[in-house]
């Protein structure tokens, strides 16, 4: 399976979006070996694989602070307090890609947390293969499903997700790859199965990012939202959200010049 994804990822359109997961792993690997890392991911280099060919023609994308700042924000500002305050919780990573929080994020060892990772079969097969000998810090369920299809929630429910337990839904670099209407459906679905106190994180871009489509990520973006429409869009799906520019949390890095939002929500009562 590893050979499959290595061979097709660069030019096969069906693999182009899962390939962004390998790029993210590459950025985490680079960050881990830097002087003052915002995060350390000991699995990232292995998971990213050999991207020499890709960077030979896409050298200017060999570093990306935005994804690192986003992961740091999610882990330090959101999940760390959540893991301490909730005695029992579920953390669902939608579009988990090659994320390794379940294997390296120490707060997961505290209390009773269950991580669910949902992504497309190709990336999950690749990840299962490369991490087969590693042990996660807490119960971990990896689910292969298309989040733009209708049945993924049934698969989640059949695989141990419990409606009565507070859940933190993490959509880290996901929603702009799905059609806006599909995201609306997804947000309503996760709301329906969410216990009281459940929360969500997503990042999102302004519309122009999806229109100009440059670089390995935004060339696949399908939509973005004006800032004055954010709260209303999420409210219609059952979530009360607050948003901020990613720049406000930049840790001194270059994160996208007021084009990207960090959005945090809680289930409306």
Ligand X SMILES: C[S@@+](CC[C@H](N)C(=O)[O-])C[C@H]1O[C@@H](n2cnc3c(N)ncnc32)[C@H](O)[C@@H]1O
- Residue span 39-78 as binding mask against ligand X, x where in contact by CB under 6 A, dash where not: ----------------------------x-----------
- 264/242 Cα distance (integer angstroms): 6
Longest dimension (CA), the chain: 51
Residue nearest to ligand X (CB): 97
CB of 100 to ligand X, least distance (A): 9
Point out which span in 78-86, 118-126, 159-167, 236-244 binds ligand X (CB under 6 A): 118-126
Number of residues that this document lists for the chain:
269
Contact in structure between 180 and 223 (CB atoms under 8 Å): yes
Question: Considering only residues 5, 9, 21, 255, which one is a binding residue for ligand X as defined by CB under 6 A?
Answer: 21
How many degrees, rounded to 5, is the angle at CA 12 between CA 6 and CA 15?
A: 65
CB of 165 to ligand X, least distance (A): 22
Residue labelled with tokens 């680079």? 30
Decide the pairing of beta strands 260-267 and 199-205: antiparallel
Point out which span in 44-52, 79-87, 95-103, 133-141 binds ligand X (CB under 6 A): 95-103
- Residue span 150-179 as binding mask against ligand X, x where in contact by CB under 6 A, dash where not: ----------------------xxx--xx-
125 is a contact residue toward ligand X (CB under 6 A)? no
C-beta neighbour count of 71 within 10 angstroms = 23
Point out which span in 101-109, 115-123, 190-198, 222-230 binds ligand X (CB under 6 A): 115-123
Decide the pairing of beta strands 199-205 and 239-245: unpaired
């Amino acid at each position: 399976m590893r050979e499959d994804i290595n061979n097709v990822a660069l030019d096969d359109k069906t693999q182009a979006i899962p390939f962004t997961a390998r790029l993210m792993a590459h950025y985490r690997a680079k960050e881990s070996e830097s002087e003052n890392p915002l995060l350390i991911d000991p699995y990232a280099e292995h998971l990213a694989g050999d991207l020499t060919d890709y960077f030979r023609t896409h050298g200017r994308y060999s570093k990306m602070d935005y994804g690192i700042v986003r992961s740091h924000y999610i882990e330090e500002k959101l999940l760390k307090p959540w893991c301490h305050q909730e005695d029992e919780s579920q953390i669902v990573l939608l579009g988990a890609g090659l994320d390794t929080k379940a294997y390296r994020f120490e707060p997961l060892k505290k209390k009773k947390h269950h991580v669910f990772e949902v992504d497309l079969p190709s990336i999950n097969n690749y990840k299962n293969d490369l991490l087969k000998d590693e042990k996660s810090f807490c119960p971990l369920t990896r689910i292969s499903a298309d989040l733009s299809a209708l049945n993924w929630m049934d698969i989640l429910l059949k695989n141990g997700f419990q409606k009565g337990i507070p859940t933190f839904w993490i959509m880290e670099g996901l929603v702009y790859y799905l059609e806006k209407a599909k995201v609306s459906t997804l947000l309503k679905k996760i709301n329906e199965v969410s216990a009281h106190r459940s929360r969500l994180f997503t990042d999102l871009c302004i519309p122009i990012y999806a229109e100009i489509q440059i670089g390995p990520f935004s060339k696949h973006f399908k939509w973005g939202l004006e800032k004055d429409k954010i709260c209303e869009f999420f409210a219609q799906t059952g979530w009360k959200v607050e948003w901020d520019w990613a720049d406000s949390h930049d840790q001194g890095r270059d994160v996208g010049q007021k084009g990207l939002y960090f959005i945090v929500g809680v289930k409306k009562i």
